[in-house]
Structure formats: C-alpha cells, structure tokens
A and B are shown apart, each in its own frame.
Chain A
Amino acid sequence: MNSELDRKNGFKFVGTRPDRPDGVDKVTGRAKFGADATAPGMLHAAIVRSPHAHAKILKIDSSRAEAMKEVKAVVTRADFAEGLSGENWNILENVMAGEKALYDGHAVAAVAATTVLAARDAAKLIAVEYEKLPHVTDVDKAMEKGAPVIRDGAADKSVPEGLHPNVVRFHESGHGDVDEGFAEADLVVEESFKTEATHQGYIEPHACLGQLGPDGKGELWCCTQGHFIVQKICAALLGIEASQLRVTASEIGGGFGGKTTVFIEPVALALSRKANRPVKLVMSRSEVFRATGPTSSTSMDVKIGMTKDGTITAGEGVFRLQGGAFPGAPADLTAMCAFAPYALKNVKQTGYDVMSNRPKQAAYRAPGSPMAAFAVESVIDELCKKLDLDPIEVRLKNASKEGTKSSYGPRFDRIGLVETLEAAKAHPHYSAPLEAGQGRGLSCGFWFNHGGETSVSLSLSEDGTVALSVGTPDIGGSRASMCLMVAEELGIPYENVRTTIADTATLGYNDVSHGSRVTYASGLAAIKAARDVVDKLCARAAAKWGIDKEAVIWEDGCAKPAGPNAGDFEPLPIARIARSMGRTGGPIAGHFEATPEGAGMSFATHIVDAEVDGETGQTKVTRYTVVQDAGKAIHPSYVEGQYQGGAAQGIGWALNEEYIYGDDGRLQNAVFLDYRIPVASDLPMIDTVIVEVPNPGHPYGVRGVGETSICPPLAAIANAVSDAAGVRLTELPMSPPRILDALERQAHG
C-alpha cells in the first residue's frame, strides 16, 4: 500500500496522513447529508413520472390529488419560467416535461403534502393522459434513417448535412494522413466495440430542502457537487434573481459527476413558492436510476496500424455516443482522449453526439475517456498479441511525453505517462507468474483535468488559528488536503486549520467539484490565500519592529527578521500577531479569486489479473494494480482512495453494470439488486503506486487524481479476460452470458 514515492520532499505537512477533519462527524452519524435536514412547517414532495419512453402529454388532471386535505401544492411545467433557451431550456425540459415525455421516468408533475406517505398517495392520484410515440433507445438505431426523431432542430452547426436529426453534435480532429500511415504498417487491426450505459451509482439519492417565498427570496439545502451552479440554474428555471437564492451544500454521499446539475431542486422550490412552506424532496433509488445520471452508451470503431517493432503508424476512431433525450453526450471528449496517450504521426478521430429516448446523460468520472480507452487499448492489445510484442514496451515506444503534439491538437506540457509505464514494468505484479486459467491485461488511460472558477477566503482568529472557506463540496476527503496545504504555508499545526464548505452568499462563484479540480484549484487558491495572510502578518510585524516589510520573513508560524541586517528581534508567533490585530490595523483575512488554468494532465497504467469460469462465464478479478501520476500527493491515503475507487467502478462497468431497456423502451433494472455494483466479496485488494511528476501549474505540483483512475480499467480487464479466455470481448459489460456467447462462437469457428 505504501507508495515508493511517499516521502515528504521537504514538506512538513504535505504528504503526511493525518485524520480527516470531518472524520468524527462521519463515523458517528452526526454528518448531515442531503436528506438529513428538516425545517419548521416542512412539507414532503413526490414526483409523477412518465411510464412511457416517448409520448405526447395530452392532459394532466390533479383534481383528485388536490382534493386531499394533506396536499398543499401541485406543480407542472406551467409553474416554471418561460422563454428559456439553450442549456437552461434543456435542463428545465429534463426537470419537468413540457409537451412530450422523452424517456421512461421523465418528470411530468409534482406534489407537496404534509407527510411523505400522503405525497406519494397524492402522486398516484394525478392522472396523466398520454399519446404514445415511437421510441428508440439504441445509439446505432437512433442514427438510422427512419428512426423516431427525439427533437427536430436540436442539432448545432457542427453536424454535417445528411445525418439523422438525432445526431446533434459532431467532432473531428487529428493530424497527418491516416491512410498513408496504415500503408506503412505491417499489421492493421480494425474492430468495433459497444459499451452499455452505466450509472454513477452514488449511494445517496438526490435530496434537497427548499424554501422560496412570495418575496422572491429563497434558501436551498441540497446534496450537490456544486451549489453555485445549482443557484444559477434554479434562479433561471424559476425566474428569480440568483443572489436572492442562498444555496448551502450538504455533505454529499457520492457524486462522481452525477451531481453536477439539477433534477429535483427547482421542483422543490416551485412547490415551496406555491405552498409558501419549506419543501423536502428526496428521490427513491429507482427514480435515481430512471431519471438521473447515466453515462452514455457507445458504439465505436477503431483501426490501428503497427510495424513489427511496435511503432504505431496510424490510429483512427469513430465514436458514437448516446446521450439520452438531450444534446450533451461527451462525444468530443471521447474522441479527444482516445489516442492521447500516444505520440502518433497520423491520427484521426470522429465523434457523434446522438439523442435517444433515455434519460439525459450526466458526467461520470472522466466523461467519455473510459469507453475510448476500452476500444483503443483493446486494439493495441490485439496488435501486441499478434506481433508477439510486450504490451508495456509497445506503449513506452509510442508514449506521449513533454512536447508531444497530442492527438487532439495542443502540445503536452510536463506529463507522467512514461513514468507510470516504467513503474508498472518494475512492479512485482507485472512479472508475477499467473495461475492456470488466469490472464493478465494492461491499459493506459488519460484525462485532461480541469481548473475552473475558484474563490476562497481564509480568516485568522484571535487565538492564531485559521478558518478556510471553500466553495467546492468535499466529495472524498478534500478538507484534509486543504488543511494540510494551509498548515504548510502558515507553519501552524494541521489541527489549527478548519476548512468549511461555505454557502453561495459567502464566497465568489465557484465551479463544481468536478474535473478532478478540487485539490488542484481550491488547493492552489488556499495556498495563495494563505500567502496573502502571511503577507499581512509580516506587515504587522514590520510595523511593530519599525522595519521594512521586505525585511520580514515567515517561518514555522512566526514572523522573523530576514537576516542580521534587518535587526535583532524575537520571532513573533502567529498567535501574538492575531491577539493584537484589532489594534494594529484590523482583522486579517486572505483571499483568492481566479480561474486557474494550469491543471496538469493525468495518465495512469493499470495491471489486472482475471480468471474466467468457462462453465458459467463468470469473471473474477484476482489481482489489481493502479499506477497513476498524482503530480504531488497532498494526503496520500485519499489519493490511494481515488485510485482504488476508480478501479472498483471500472470493474463494475467492465463486468456487470448496464442499463437494460425492454422493447417497450422502459428501464428494466432500476434497483441495486438488478443493477449490481461491485460488493466487497467481488473484489480483491487494489494495490496502488503513486507516481509524482510535478505539475508546473500548481505551487506544490498537484495534478487532479479523481477521474483518471476510471479510464484504464475497462480495457485492462477486457485484455485480461481475452488473455484468460482466449477470445476477444468487444462489448461491455462482459457479463457471464456475453462471455459464454463469445466462447461458444469461438468453439464453433
């Protein structure tokens, strides 16, 4: 478990593993998550959802529900803002259907009542009359001539003429001449792949408590990855001023990208406005599956040429992503990530964003990249097998490094792919003998990482302790990292720093906790805010000593004269400066508001051993090693946690998880029993190696770590399964029936 690079590098706090500051709250049940809040006079709400995949809404009759004495408000689309356009319109249309229900589970009305049970009873009494329309839930079928059109005119200008109206965005990038490249190859492998939609699978269903008065002033408590975006969207959807709605983020029970938008929050606020009482709205698990989240399903074609010595001469990929009933599937990101790990002379990638009668896809950890890696890394594996080449050597030979012109355009800054490959090669796992029936697979993965708008504040208390306010919900231990970075800068104990997730009224705008950005961007902001505080502390000491501010340095939590020439003064500790700050110039606080743009790109290499039961088709992952570049691990335990969590989600995606739609277009497995995420007995220990190739864009070298860990697993596991079973699986999940099918097809030639 201990990383070879787990050393302090001259840091006093960074790189250590203290207890997380919110640990006691979370092990005692004290931490308040989305559904844990209450308010005086609170009502409970329930949502009426379409049972049809595609249908015109002819009539909504809520009279029977409204006749119940417990019912205080019913809302439909008419209770939301009119005249929206662009993404705000898309989100409103998803939050509450307009003229048509676009997928099974699409919200069409909502009711608030005095109890949860009464709200559910009332929802059943709301009669909706539908006219069913033809539907399509498969990405390839949705592109075919004659497929039902989800919404005419939804396509943007990027889409070439002649494509089906369900193709709403188009991406093309690359360089060189792929045909020339394929001609230079000794072997060209071309394969088609499919992956099913998976859900982020956070254990906490969406939950919120909203209050909106007739005066247009509101309060909202919700579990979200970003309460500032919730504020912005809710204000737009309800036609109120953003600043009049104060949003507080609860503790969040997992998000993984799925809580970066809104679903129920505007509904709770609309009901509250109508009833003039606070309204709590909590999704059931089946609502979560039917109406939130999933990632895109895909259909992909990848072609790669290689010489006998392992040089990739050309790569070409076509990526079709099903994004549900709205534009927005990350076809562009999928295409851009596909060949990013490799320095290629000739490369071309094409992406299609395709609408269908499924819920609006939402971001899921490195959106698009895992699927692209599945296709590309499977083909590379096939080439290595056919040319009898070592998969790590081939990847090292072609690896992107600093200065490489990336497959999607820009040149890479300092990146650590080669270092992860070297560490994987040196890891005992890679050379360990396999048992009979087992196979080994390997894959690389890539994610861009993100900076984003960031605003923090750091306040000094009179006793010399500090409070950091950040606007990025803590989705996996980031408070601990923030405290470590502030302690490092101020030279004060970790325990003397408290990090709070502040509400929307307290800080400037903060982008969502996504894009692996929190430890990078909020961390950078915390460091800069701490430096701002140090600057002010030094100024107070300089004034006291009657010397220039430049002659004062900050060391070990004290102001000190910079050298003998500055004068002979006793070090002035932070607590002493803090105690007198009211008399020496007033309160001291540090700030940082900016949009950091130096998020370092991130690469990983995963090694997997798996065994396949030829009789049942069951696959068991027997050994797993994650090697990933963290830039600098601030709190290594939580970096390892991100590596392990991404790998585990990838194992579920590869082997088990899928959205299953019936011919009627309805989701058939909207419960955890049927949508089975990995349980403890499914998994082995997940070994981790933290590689640290510093990111030049962060003061300590931090790169985001949250997303890249889910990029390699699909391919790495597919390659291990292929090695174990002797047959290439090109569709995910590699569930027992699919594996048995593949084995049978192979047996019959």
Chain B
Amino acid sequence: MSMVHVTATVNDDEVEFLCDPRETLLDVLRDRLGLTGAKEGCGTGDCGACSVTVDGRLVCSCLMLGAEAEGKSIATVEGIAEGENLHPLQAKFIEHAALQCGICTPGILVATKALLEKNPDPTETEVRYWLAGNLCRCTGYDKIIRAVMDTAADLRKAS
C-alpha cells in the first residue's frame, strides 16, 4: 500500500513522516516518531491512555489517523514539562501519589492540563466528569482528583 507523506508539529518540533493510511496517530507517534508516552489501552477511544491535543483540542490519538495530522500541531505528555522543570500538574501528581502503575498517567496529565487551560477553577464534579474518559484501574481516582484540585488552586494563586 502506498504511504502518505505528512508534515506536522509535535511538541513544537516540526516532524515529517510517511505512514500507511490505516495507521492511527497513536501508531505514528509511538512507532514512527518514537514518542511512546501516549499508551494504547483499548484502541477504541474508551480508556483515554492515548490522549493528546491536536491544535489545542483533546483527542484520543487512537481514533485519529496519522494521515489526518497534516499541518496540525500535536502536543503529547513528552512536551508538558519545560526542560527540566516539571509542569505543576506533574509535580502534584508525584506529591499526592496520584499514580500507582502509571500507565494512565500520561493521558490523565494531558487531559487535565487541557481542562485547567479551559477552566482554571473547576469543581470536584467538573474534574470527575472531565476525566470520565480516562480510565484508571489502580487508584480509585481519589488522589488524582486531589492532585488536580490542588494544582488548580496553586495556579490560581500564582496568576
């Protein structure tokens, strides 16, 4: 099958790749660009472990084709920290022990970062519904919700 040539931006880096038209954006990120931070937990858009943003919009990268990334700006978990400085969410997730196995963590961080950019002062219920598309099997979500609420409060104080 002939490959599709795609040019896009990933975490502010310009990238160029060839992909099979059947490959998902997640396949491309992981297998062609070596960015394995986004995970495949289901491949059907149910678990959110592959969450990335495309032109600022939160998507499951397993539900988008690599070929559709042409001209788009994609952000993944690998781009959340600024150099060696963790994003406040990342630091709070560690501080609150908001991860156990850590497989859902990249998707949850991408999703919550997108939430806080939209809504800096979410209620607990808003955080829970926003994250309803990101499955975590280890934590029961308690410490995740606390980490997000605590980050939001800190960011509001700082701004």
Chain A residues packing against B (C-beta within 8 Å): 1, 17, 19-20, 22-33, 35-36, 115-117, 200-205, 251-256, 282, 284-285, 475-477, 635, 637-638, 640-641, 644-645, 647-649, 671-673, 677-681, 683, 685-686
Contacts and interface: CB of A to CB of B under 8 A. Distances in A.
B137 A683 contact: no
Interface string B106-146: 10010000000000000001011101111111111111111
B122 to A, nearest CB: 12
Contacts of A672: 41-42, 44, 46-47, 135
A163 to B, nearest CB: 37
Given A201-B137, A254-B101, A475-B100, A29 B38 contact: yes
Contacts of A671: 42, 44, 46
A123 to B, nearest CB: 15
B27 A116 contact: yes
Contact of B100 (A17, A638, A647, A685): A638
Contact of B136 (A25, A28, A203, A205): A203
Chain B contact surface mostly: loop
B49 to A, nearest CB: 6
B23 A117 contact: yes
A32 B36 contact: yes
A686 B142 CA distance: 6
B71 interface: no
18 contacts: A1-B146, A24-B86, A26-B105, A28-B78, A28-B80, A29-B78, A29-B106, A117-B20, A117-B22, A203-B41, A203-B137, A205-B41, A284-B43, A477-B100, A648-B140, A671-B44, A672-B47, A680-B131
B99 A26 contact: yes
B132 A204 contact: no
A640 B144 CA distance: 13
B144 A680 contact: yes
Contacts of B145: 680, 685
A475 B96 CA distance: 17
A253 B46 contact: no
A255 B81 CA distance: 28
Contact of A475 (B47, B93, B101): B101
**Residue among A203, A253, A477 with max Cβ neighbours from chain B (10 Å):** A203
A638 B27 CA distance: 33
Given A254-B137, A673-B44, A476 B101 contact: yes
B56 interface: no
A27 B108 CA distance: 10
A640 B146 CA distance: 13
B127 A680 contact: yes
Interface of A is mostly: loop
Most-contacted residue by chain B among A17, A648, A679 (CB, 10 A): A679
Interface string B1-39: 000000000000000000010110001001100011111
A645 B102 contact: no
Contacts of B76: 29
B103 interface: yes
Contact of A35 (B22, B40, B138): B40
B70 interface: no
B138 A641 contact: yes
B94 A23 contact: yes
A514 B143 CA distance: 23
Nearest to A672: B46
A26 B102 CA distance: 6
A225 B125 CA distance: 34
Nearest to A33: B103
Nearest to B34: A38
Contacts of A679: 131-135
Contacts of A476: 100-101, 138
Nearest to B36: A36
Given A25-B102, A282-B40, A680-B131, 17 more contacts: A1-B146, A22-B102, A29-B106, A30-B37, A31-B102, A205-B41, A253-B103, A254-B137, A285-B41, A644-B142, A672-B46, A677-B135, A678-B141, A679-B135, A680-B132, A680-B144, A683-B141
Contacts of A117: 20, 22-23
Contacts of A28: 37, 77-78, 80-81, 86, 90
A683 B138 CA distance: 13
Contacts of A649: 137, 140
Nearest to A642: B100
Contacts of B55: none
B97 interface: yes
B140 A645 contact: yes
A644 B143 contact: yes
A89 to B, nearest CB: 32
Interface in B71-93: 76-78, 80-81, 86, 90, 93
A638 B103 contact: no
Contacts of A686: 140, 142
A644 B139 contact: yes
Nearest to A22: B102
B154 interface: no
A645 B86 contact: no
Contacts of B135: 203, 672, 677, 679
Contacts of B142: 644, 683, 685-686
A207 to B, nearest CB: 9
Given A253-B39, A253-B102, A641 B132 contact: no
Contact of A648 (B20, B36, B141): B141
Interface string B48-82: 01000000000000000000000000001110110
B14 to A, nearest CB: 20
A203 B131 CA distance: 15
A637 B97 contact: yes
B101 A204 contact: yes
B152 interface: no
A366 B31 CA distance: 37
A25 B99 CA distance: 12
Contacts of B103: 33, 202-204, 251, 253-254
A570 B13 CA distance: 56
A672 B38 CA distance: 18
Contacts of B101: 202-204, 251-255, 475-476
Contacts of B146: 1
Nearest to B138: A645
A680 B141 contact: yes
Nearest to B38: A29
Among B90, B103, B140, B141, the most chain A Cβ lie within 10 Å of the Cβ of B140
Contacts of B129: 680-681
Given A32-B36, A677-B135, A683-B140, A19 B95 contact: yes
Contacts of B90: 24, 27-28
Contacts of B27: 116
Contacts of A33: 36, 39, 103
A644 B139 CA distance: 6
A673 B31 CA distance: 26
A22 B145 CA distance: 21
B86 A680 contact: no
Contacts of A36: 30, 36
Nearest to A687: B142
B43 to A, nearest CB: 6
A475 B39 CA distance: 17
A170 to B, nearest CB: 33
Contact of A641 (B78, B97, B109): B97
Contact of B86 (A27, A282, A677, A685): A27
Given A203-B41, A203-B47, A641 B137 contact: no
Contacts of B80: 27-28
Contact of A645 (B23, B31, B36, B139): B139
B94 A24 contact: yes
A251 B138 CA distance: 14
A673 B40 contact: no
Contacts of A205: 40-41
A477 B31 CA distance: 28
